[in-house]
Amino acid sequence: MKYLFGPVPSRRLGISLGVDLVPHKVCSLNCIYCEVGRTTNLTIERKEYVPIDEVLEELNDYLAQKPDLDFVTFSGQGEPTLNSGLGKIINFIKDNYPQYQIAVITNGTLFWDSQVREDVLRADVLLPSLDAVSKMTFLKLNRPDKELKIDQIIQGLIELRKEFTGKIYLEIFFVPQMNDTESELAKLKEIAGKIKPELIQLNTLDRPGTESRVKPLSRKRLEEIAEFFKPLPVEIISKPETRKQINSFNQDISEQILETVSRRPSTDKDLSDILNLHLNELNKYLSELIADGKIEAVKQKRGLFFKIRDQGNNSTN
Ligand code: SF4
């Protein structure tokens, strides 16, 4: 599969088939904590970064087999709303496979554009991010395309809420001493109250990010922040649940491991959960892929993470 990946058990969406609408790494941001590597095409230009007809064909072939899924989720290696064909694909799924829910995981930077808001109208769940409200924090943390203005992004999210009738889960990704200061938290809470998401989800790093200097926020601090956000609906995002029965995996396990770690560096436990494979069995594949020079292991606080072998730049992805 070229544009589809998984299905994977996701933190927020159960069993989810991923659809990747932009190549690595097209994004309107270049976040310092990004788990899929540095942005190489920093842009707000919308176009068919991958051919929509090919995506539709792949989706049609896959969904016609009636796979056991909770969601079809647009996410992956960059920002999905940058693909100008997003609305066409969402409409295709809703018209032909209405039994599947649709989610869009987005950095939320383009909803000031009414066409982007219209494109996602038939989705069931939108998961936009908003990590900063003040200009300086936004620039330092998210390193945006130069055309993007944080006030405009916030206004776009408020407009989206007025038009979109599905659920909005607003994610805030915390990096210590960047956006967990008292003043930033107060502004984030005020703006989140205006966006009125069904849920505010607090997140921090649990895999290697783009910059090795970026560290996770402690669980204790996340809990303090969750308290601060109340009475707004807030939760700390937990780890993915193990799903014992997923019927529709790729047969080729090595390929599946490569697909997974190319999108997100993962521990052997993560991979074992995602692939529903015993750790001992999985380790044979990992050893082979390391011996072949295709992946490498990187030590982090939460354990050993496997990722695509570095191509010689300073990125940890
Ligand atoms: S974290 Fe998301 S929004 Fe930020 S650079 Fe990575 S892909 Fe883009």
Residues 36 and 164 both lie in one domain: yes
* Radius of gyration, CA atoms only, the chain: 19
Please identify, among 214, 238, 262, the residue that sits at the C-terminal boundary of a domain. 238
CATH for 284: 1.10.10.10
Query: What domain range is 208 assigned to?
Result: 4-238
Residues 75 and 115 both lie in one domain: yes
Residues 37 and 69 both lie in one domain: yes
Confidence grade of residue 209 (pLDDT, cut at 50, 70, 90): low
Q: CB of 93 within 8 A of CB of 60?
A: no
Is 217 within a domain? yes
The 10s digit of each residue's pLDDT in 256-281 is 899 899 888 888 888 888 887 766 66
Residue of the nearest CA to atom 1 in ligand 1? Answer: 34
Number of domains in the chain: 2
As a whole number of angstroms, the distance between CA 1 and CA 16 comes to 15
Residue of the nearest CA to atom 3 in ligand 1? Answer: 107
Query: Which of 43-57, 92-106, 225-239, 290-304 shows the lowest mean pLDDT across its residues?
Result: 290-304
Query: Above 60 in pLDDT, residue 244?
Result: no
As a whole number, mean pLDDT of residues 282-304 equals: 79
Please identify, among 238, 272, 295, the residue that sits at the C-terminal boundary of a domain. 238
**Protein residues whose CB sits closer than 6 Å to any atom of ligand 1:** 27, 29-31, 34, 36, 39, 78-79, 107
- Residue 23 contacts by C-beta under 8 Å, 6 or more apart in sequence? 49, 50, 77, 78
Q: What is the pTM of this model?
A: 0.80
CA of 275 to the centre of ligand 1 (A): 25
Residues 106 and 164 both lie in one domain: yes
Which atom of ligand 1 has the smallest separation from the CA of 109?
Answer: 3
Q: Report the candidate in 200, 119, 108, 94 with the shortest Cα–Cα distance to residue 158.
A: 108
The 10s digit of each residue's pLDDT in 218-239 is 999 999 999 999 999 999 985 4
Is 168 within a domain? yes
